[in-house]
Chains A and B, each alone.
Chain A
């Protein structure tokens, strides 16, 4: 049996290998599906829901759903985009996102999704939660005001023995992703850079490293997120 299977995204014929997740397979076929918590090469968890698509009338996260033969996926429709926009809005109001004063502004994936869906104002009330900024470790600032709890840092930033430098603390509404003080003290500057890069938002910052690129030259100033995805 051939390992190649056919499927459709928004009516467009696509082809991929059996076993691939929809987001990956979509990319291979030149179609962008937004993601936040997902990272290529890391086991998906499906926590942010921004990659939601509709299959057989059901909403599914495309980063955790493998493609099946003949599958028909609805992604870039008004209904699905509205849903994604409301997720972006909820993320904005549930943290403290002061973009004008944020080091990640212009390079932030959450903000870029706000631009993509033309969020002029979130439709939900701002929570203004009281959150801390932890600047104790030598290379990194962890700003809880901007964390979207995507776990990308937990999954990818590890020391030589494979221990995660970041971890969940507390639960429910008080859930936070915190930096392990002891491990952070041993962190290399390279790992600090990687942590900042892997965080989709401005919650992990390398000290003394803000506002490096001028406005107009940043990643999402002139080009929308996903616009580089082509066949």
Chain B
């Protein structure tokens, strides 16, 4: 039997969840025995080259590119996991939810106390740039997500247990200390 294939991505996240994947330490050697990585920042494969078994999503959707990537993950992966608070509920980027987008951009590029270098008061507005969404969306409000692993970042043990359980078909252990929201 060929190895299960994994893909990962970071949408509106900080890469902390990916750091936590690496935080499984020496078990990473076991992991590469168990699975094969496809599209992922871990191996720098940029596009899907084959059907994927498990897609791991870090970060919620704050712009049109996030939505497109998330949809391509749904299309190419049998199972999708929301990894971390941002994927699950928008996380810190979603602090802007409820504030009109115009006001956010103004604060970031014109009115805020740290925008000194932007003397001409330019707001990024190029066709090449992804469009910001009206708010940051949890991934499961855009596509169907199969599993959720909370944490900021999720504990390495939680990620490891979840992957092993999915690959072997054994039930997840979920000890108290590993399911945390921070």
B92, A121: Cβ atoms closer than 8 Å: no
Q: Across the interface, name the chain A residue whose C-beta is closest to B151.
A: A100
A100, B181: Cβ atoms closer than 8 Å: yes
Q: Across the interface, name the chain B residue whose C-beta is closest to A99.
A: B181
B176, A222: Cβ atoms closer than 8 Å: yes
B97, A121: Cβ atoms closer than 8 Å: no
A100, B91: Cβ atoms closer than 8 Å: yes
Q: How many residues on A have C-beta within 8 angstroms of the other chain's C-beta atoms?
A: 27
Chain A residues near B94: list those with CB within 8 A.
Answer: 98, 128
Stretch at the interface among A32-40, A110-118, A147-155, A169-177: A110-118
A98, B179: Cβ atoms closer than 8 Å: no
Residue of B85, B97, B179 touching A100 (CB-CB under 8 A): B85
Chain A residues near B176: list those with CB within 8 A.
Answer: 115, 222-224
Q: Across the interface, name the chain A residue whose C-beta is closest to B140.
A: A121
- Is B98 part of the binding interface, using a Cβ–Cβ cutoff of 8 Å? yes
A118, B182: Cβ atoms closer than 8 Å: no
Chain B residues near A129: list those with CB within 8 A.
Answer: 98
The proximity string for B residues 160-182 relative to A, scoring 1 for CB distances below 8 Å and 0 otherwise, is 00000000000000101101111
Taking CB atoms and an 8 Å cut-off, the chain B residues in 71-99 that contact chain A are 82, 85, 88-92, 94-95, 97-99
- Is B55 part of the binding interface, using a Cβ–Cβ cutoff of 8 Å? no
Chain A residues near B36: list those with CB within 8 A.
Answer: none
- Is B67 part of the binding interface, using a Cβ–Cβ cutoff of 8 Å? no
Chain A residues near B88: list those with CB within 8 A.
Answer: 120-121
Q: Across the interface, name the chain B residue whose C-beta is closest to A128.
A: B97
Chain B residues near A221: list those with CB within 8 A.
Answer: 177, 180
- Is B141 part of the binding interface, using a Cβ–Cβ cutoff of 8 Å? yes
Stretch at the interface among A2-10, A54-62, A101-109, A185-193: A101-109
Q: Across the interface, name the chain B residue whose C-beta is closest to A116.
A: B176
Residue of B99, B138, B179 touching A120 (CB-CB under 8 A): B179
Chain B residues near A114: list those with CB within 8 A.
Answer: 181
With A99-B182, A114-B181: A120-B97 Cβ-Cβ less than 8 Å:
no
- Is A162 part of the binding interface, using a Cβ–Cβ cutoff of 8 Å? no
Chain B residues near A121: list those with CB within 8 A.
Answer: 82, 88-89, 138, 140, 148, 150
- Is B24 part of the binding interface, using a Cβ–Cβ cutoff of 8 Å? no
Chain A residues near B149: list those with CB within 8 A.
Answer: 120
**Nearest Cβ on chain B to A147's Cβ, whole angstroms:** 15
**Nearest Cβ on chain B to A25's Cβ, whole angstroms:** 27
Cα(A115)–Cα(B177), bound, Å: 9
A115, B180: Cβ atoms closer than 8 Å: yes
A98, B140: Cβ atoms closer than 8 Å: no
Cα(A101)–Cα(B95), bound, Å: 10
B148, A100: Cβ atoms closer than 8 Å: no
Chain B residues near A224: list those with CB within 8 A.
Answer: 176
Additional A-B contact list (6), CB under 8 Å, known A119-B150, A128-B94, A222-B176: A114-B181, A115-B181, A120-B179, A121-B140, A126-B89, A224-B176
Q: List 22 A-B contacts (CB under 8 A).
A: A98-B91, A99-B152, A99-B182, A100-B85, A100-B91, A100-B181, A100-B182, A102-B182, A114-B181, A115-B176, A115-B181, A118-B174, A120-B147, A120-B150, A120-B179, A121-B82, A121-B148, A121-B150, A122-B89, A125-B141, A128-B94, A128-B98
